[in-house]
Amino acid sequence: MTNKEKNIEHQSVSSEEEIVPTIEGEEKEKEEDFGLEYTATEAEVEEEDDQEEMVEDEFEGEEEYTIEEVPGFNEALIETVEVEEEVFIPEEWVDVSECGSEDYGDPESICGRDDRVRIRATTRIPWRLNCQLLITARNGRKGRCTGWLIGPRTVMTAGHCLYSHSAGGWARSIEVIPGMDATRKPFGSQVARSFRSVRGWVKSRKPEYDYGAIILPKPCKFKPLGYFGFASLSSRTLKNLLVNNAGYAGDKPFGTLWFNAGRIRKVTSRRLYYMIDTYGGHSGSCVWLLKKVGGRWQRYGIGIHGYGGCPNKAVRIIKPVFNNMKRWKKEGKC
C-alpha cells in the first residue's frame, strides 16, 4: 500500500459536504469512494515511527515531563476523598449517555481502583480548555462527550461524537461549554453546526481514525481562554511517558470534570494505550503531556481519547492527524 493510499483515510471530511443515504441505509458521498481497507503492518509501524517529531508551537530546551498538580491525586499512592453532591440536571439531559457509543465495542473503563479526582477550579488553566459537549444527533437523540480547545474557534474531539453511524450521520448541533462545573457555565457556551472528521471514520468506521473537530461560529467568544498545543512524537518518546487526562464522566454528577493520569503502556502506529481511568462521556478528551520549556510548563495534546478495555486507548497524533489539526485550527481562526 502506497503512502498516498494510506493517507486517503486521513482525508478531511466536512459536515457541510453532502452525504447521501443509500437504500441499504449506508452513506455514500457524491465523490468517488475509494473503498480502501487498512490494517497496519509491522513494516508500516516502523515507517511511521521513523517520522520526525512535530509540534504546533515549536519549543526548545531540556526535556522534562510531569503530570498536573491536582489536590488529592498522588501518582505513587493515590488517596481520593469524593464529596458527592446533588446537582440539578436539566430534564432533557436526564439519563443521557455518551454520543455514538453504539458505534464502537470498547466502552471507557475504570482500570482497577477508581482514583479519579474532581476538578473544581475549572476557570483556571488547563481546566478551562476542556469542554463539555452536549450533542443533538442527526436522529434527535441526545448525547454527551468531551472536547478541548486547540484554537480560538476549534475544538478537538472523537469522530463518533460528531458523526454517529448508528444515529444517521453528522450531529444536528453541539453545545460547547468550556470549564463547565455542574450546571455552572463560567464562560457561557456556543452552539456549533460545523464539524470535521476524516474518511477513515466517516466512510470506513475504523477506530484508529476516530477523531475530528468542531468549528465554532463567530464571534470568537472563547479566544481569551487560551488553548492546548499539540504534538506528533516518536514512539521512543511516547513509551512510558507520563500523561494527563480530564473529561466529563457520565457516572459522576452532571457537568463535573474529572482528572486522572498515568504512563503510556503501549504505543502502536495509530493508537496509545494506558490504564488511566475513564468512563462514558470522556470520549474526545485530551491526552496531554506537561513539558518544561524555558523554565515554564507547557501543555501538548498527543492523543484523542475514545476507547476503553483496560488498557484504555486514544487516537495517536501522528503526522496526518497533526496536519489535519493545523488545518482545522486555521479554519477556526478569528
For residue 291, how far is the Cα from the chain centroid?
A: 20
Grid coordinates belonging to 210: 476516530
Q: Give residue for cell 487498512.
A: 38
CB within 8 Å of 192: residues ≥ 6 apart: 155, 173, 174, 175, 176, 214, 215, 216, 217
Q: Evaluate whether 315 touches 302 at the Cβ level (below 8 Å).
A: no
Q: Evaluate whether 156 touches 150 at the Cβ level (below 8 Å).
A: yes
d(CA 30, CA 325): 25
DSSP three-state, residue 310: coil
d(CA 143, CA 166): 13
State how far the alpha carbon of 229 is from the alpha carbons of 5, 114, 115, 290, in Å. Answer: 29, 28, 26, 10
Hey, which residues are catalytic here? Answer: 160, 283
